[in-house]
Structure formats: structure tokens, C-alpha cells
């Protein structure tokens, strides 16, 4: 896709063209462009949010997952717990447990017992 094609796609998406938005999300996901996905997710696009969570988890981006989790996104919280558990990140699990996340508390207990 050329720069002018991308600009035209972004303009169409900005004007509310649903298919252009979907195409932009797909392109951003393929290119690993968290910025575009974040912008669309912050505008309330659930497909962009789902793609952002998936990509952030694949890239091991705790910060992005934390940001979404702290905004109340349960899927992001689950992915954050999974990633923190894989990395042995007790501080992150403790932070989530302190916020009342039962799954994080369970994972923390498992990692610290024994």
C-alpha cells in the first residue's frame, strides 16, 4: 500500500466509512502498529480494542495491557495476568490482586507457595 493509498484510507475512515475503518484495523494489526489500534480503540472501536489486546499480548507489552486493564477491560486483564504469570512478574500480579482481581491473587499464591 502506497502512502497516498494509506492517506486515502485514513481519510475515508475518519469520515466514518466502516469498511475503511475495518481495513485500517486489519492493516494496523498486520503491521504491528499499536498506535493506530490504540487511537481507534480509544475512540470506542471494539474490533480495534480486541486487535490491540491480541497484539500487545503477542509483543509482551505489559504497559499497554495494564493501560487497558486499568480502564476496565476484562480481556486485557486476563492477558495481563497470563503474561505476568509467564514472566514471573510478581509485582504486577500483586498490583492486580491488590485491586481485587481474584485470578491474579490465585496466580500469585501459586507462584509464591513452595
Q: Map out the domains of the chain as residue ranges.
A: 1-59, 62-114
For position 112, what pLDDT does the model report? 93
For position 106, what pLDDT does the model report? 96
Model's pTM, two decimal places?
A: 0.87
pLDDT per residue over 49-64, tens digit each? 999 999 999 999 999 9
Q: What angle do CA 57, 63, 66 make, to 5 degrees?
A: 80
- Of 42 and 4, which is predicted with more confidence? 42
For position 114, what pLDDT does the model report? 64
Predicted confidence band of residue 14 (pLDDT cuts 50, 70, 90): confident
The closest alpha carbon to 95, from 105, 85, 87, 86, belongs to 105
pLDDT per residue over 58-113, tens digit each? 999 999 999 999 999 999 999 999 999 999 999 999 999 999 999 999 999 999 99
With a CB cutoff of 8 Å and minimum separation 6, the contacts of 59 are 32, 34
Can you list the pairs that 67-71 forms with residues at least 24 positions away whose Cβ atoms lie under 8 Å? 68/41, 69/96
With a CB cutoff of 8 Å and minimum separation 6, the contacts of 6 are 27
Please give the biggest Cα pair distance in the chain: 58
Predicted confidence band of residue 5 (pLDDT cuts 50, 70, 90): confident
Amino acid at each position: 500500500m502506497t502512502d497516498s493509498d494509506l492517506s486515502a484510507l485514513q481519510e475515508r475512515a475518519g469520515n466514518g466509512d466502516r469498511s475503511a475503518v475495518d481495513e485500517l484495523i486489519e492493516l494496523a494489526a498486520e503491521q504491528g502498529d499499536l498506535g493506530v489500534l490504540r487511537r481507534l480503540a480509544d475512540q470506542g472501536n471494539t474490533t480495534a480494542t480486541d486487535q490491540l489486546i491480541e497484539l500487545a499480548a503477542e509483543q509482551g507489552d505489559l504497559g499497554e495491557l495494564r493501560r487497558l486493564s486499568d480502564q476496565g477491560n476484562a480481556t486485557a486483564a486476563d492477558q495481563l495476568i497470563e503474561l505476568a504469570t509467564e514472566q514471573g512478574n510478581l509485582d504486577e500480579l500483586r498490583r492486580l490482586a491488590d485491586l481485587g482481581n481474584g485470578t491474579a491473587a490465585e496466580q500469585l499464591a501459586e507462584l509464591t507457595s513452595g
